């Protein structure tokens, strides 16, 4: 197995690019790119937001994690990381704040609103007490089903002896749930497949893409892992029009399920049939390092995948320097339709991908650059939001931050055409807000 230290150190300090020059001029639609408000939430500890959705009432739900016990987390009693779900109204005012967890580390990653107006949240957890009923090892996939007020309807933990992580969840067309992440298959001793056809699958190596299908009550229907002998992790999932599941992440492998690799780490995308059978898998990248963090199904039924690249060759047509944000679009058969990079000469990365009503894209990430596609840097890593049209052409970009570390994690277009960006800030001089603790959740609305 290749050494991962440098990779994952850099992956924790990330940021976003394209061939066209950046602009802060208004777009042709109602979006002007002007700040409507900036707000921060948290306590005196470490508070993080990873995922945002607009809710049916026009407000927003944000999931992350917190170890604070004061401020917006005053209801929390233990100074350990819990899932943190924050509900805001349309103006960014806090309606309620709830945490879920036990006496150990529990890290929320993704939230969806369910068809009945409640929520489903996923991440990875160590606790087997408090709100958690079970833990099989170090980290387990932990999913909670909530009502509209954030009260727990049910919760289930899935895992084995090692690091098992869940990063994304969807409600499926049959009313159930599917979540995607990572299985530490070495410590599971090859276990992790369940359901039709699982006996024919082969145990691989270090870590695998891991997809889990539940019914509407959280009962396990099936689960499958996919990958090779090295490190493979799924960070996002969407359901295809035919009921299949498309998972995107990265792969370090070049064997078993993984073929046609380009370099040391590639974007890796797999399509899985409704019963868990592998339909196809595709690798995208260059001879350097590529890691993808998000996938969205586009308005035309294809898929957009977002992450970063260190490469200058093969599938990558341009690199501005160091790491660039990399956005690709593929069709339903996994064929690459186009790719675009965004960035400057320093380290730029992207974590969250949103769609716009006109078929374009929103990118949330962070940047250390102040050239190329990036017009300004406030110090260290800044939040970086990018808007691109349906062909991936950059039409707007803006950075936010202070003199310390600031990371953008997700972005959504609201029903009124505005854009809401979330991230985490350690800066004490972040514009228009007052720092609450070691790191805060920051929410920015652009109109």
Low-confidence ranges of the chain (pLDDT < 70): 1-29, 196-203
User: Would you tell me how many other CB atoms lie within 10 Å of the CB of residue 379?
Assistant: 14
Cα torsion 30, 33, 35, 37: sign: positive
Which pLDDT does position 206 carry in this prediction?
A: 86
CA distance from start to end of the chain: 47
Which pLDDT does position 19 carry in this prediction?
A: 37
Quick one: three-class SS letters along 385-430? Answer: EEEECCCCCEEEEEEECCCCCEEEEEEEECCCCCEEEEEEECCCCC
Q: What region does 96 belong to: left with phi over 0, alpha with psi -120 to 50, or beta?
A: beta
Query: 82-88 and 94-100: which strand pairing?
Result: antiparallel
Which pLDDT does position 309 carry in this prediction?
A: 98
Which pLDDT does position 35 carry in this prediction?
A: 97
Contact 237, 246 (CB under 8 A): yes
Residue 378 contacts by C-beta under 8 Å, 6 or more apart in sequence? 399, 400, 401, 402, 403, 406, 427, 431
Residues shown for the chain: 447
Q: Which residues pair with 35 in a beta bridge?
A: 446
Which residue's entry shows tokens 């879920």? 100
Cα separation, 81 vs 83, whole angstroms: 7
Q: Which residues pair with 270 in a beta bridge?
A: 247, 281
């Amino acid at each position: 197995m290749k050494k991962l230290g440098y990779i994952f150190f850099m992956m924790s300090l990330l940021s976003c690019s394209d061939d066209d020059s950046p602009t802060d001029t208004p777009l042709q639609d109602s979006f002007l790119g002007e700040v409507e408000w900036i707000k921060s939430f948290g306590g005196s500890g470490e508070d993080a937001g990873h995922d945002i959705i607009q809710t049916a009432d026009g407000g927003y739900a944000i999931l992350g994690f917190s170890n604070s016990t004061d401020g917006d987390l005053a209801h929390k009693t233990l100074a350990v990381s819990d899932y943190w779900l924050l509900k805001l109204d349309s103006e960014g005012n806090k309606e309620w704040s709830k945490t879920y967890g036990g006496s150990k580390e529990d890290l929320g990653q993704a939230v969806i609103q369910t068809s009945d107006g409640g929520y489903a949240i996923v991440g990875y957890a160590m606790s087997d007490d408090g709100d958690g009923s079970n833990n099989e090892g170090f980290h387990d996939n932990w999913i909670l089903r909530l009502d509209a007020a954030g009260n727990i309807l049910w919760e289930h933990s899935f895992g084995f002896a090692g690091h098992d992580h869940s990063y994304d969840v969807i409600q499926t067309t049959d009313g159930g749930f599917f979540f995607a992440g990572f299985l530490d298959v070495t410590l599971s001793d090859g276990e992790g497949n369940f359901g039709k056809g699982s006996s024919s699958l082969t145990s691989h190596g270090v870590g695998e893409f891991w997809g889990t299908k539940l019914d509407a009550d959280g009962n396990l229907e099936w689960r499958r892992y996919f990958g090779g002998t090295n490190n493979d992790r799924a960070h996002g999932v969407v359901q295809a029009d035919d009921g299949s599941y498309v998972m995107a992440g990265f792969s370090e492998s070049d064997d078993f399920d993984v073929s046609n690799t380009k370099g040391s780490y590639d974007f890796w995308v797999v399509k899985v049939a409704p019963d868990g059978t592998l339909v196809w898998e595709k690798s995208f990248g260059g001879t350097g390092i590529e890691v993808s963090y998000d996938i969205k199904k586009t308005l035309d039924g294809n898929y957009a995948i977002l992450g970063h690249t260190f490469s200058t060759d093969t599938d990558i047509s341009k690199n501005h320097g160091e790491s660039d944000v990399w956005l690709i679009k593929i069709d339903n058969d996994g064929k690459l339709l186009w790719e675009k990079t965004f960035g400057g000469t320093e380290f730029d990365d992207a974590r969250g991908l949103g769609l716009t009503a006109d078929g374009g894209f929103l990118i949330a990430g962070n940047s250390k650059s102040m050239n190329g596609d990036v017009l300004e840097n406030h110090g260290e890593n800044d939040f970086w939001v990018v808007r691109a049209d349906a062909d991936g052409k950059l039409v707007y970009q803006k950075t936010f931050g202070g003199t310390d570390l600031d990371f953008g994690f997700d972005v959504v277009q609201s029903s009124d055409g505005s854009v809401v960006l979330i991230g985490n800030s350690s800066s004490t001089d972040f514009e228009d807000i007052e720092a609450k603790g070691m790191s805060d959740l920051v929410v920015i609305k652009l109109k």
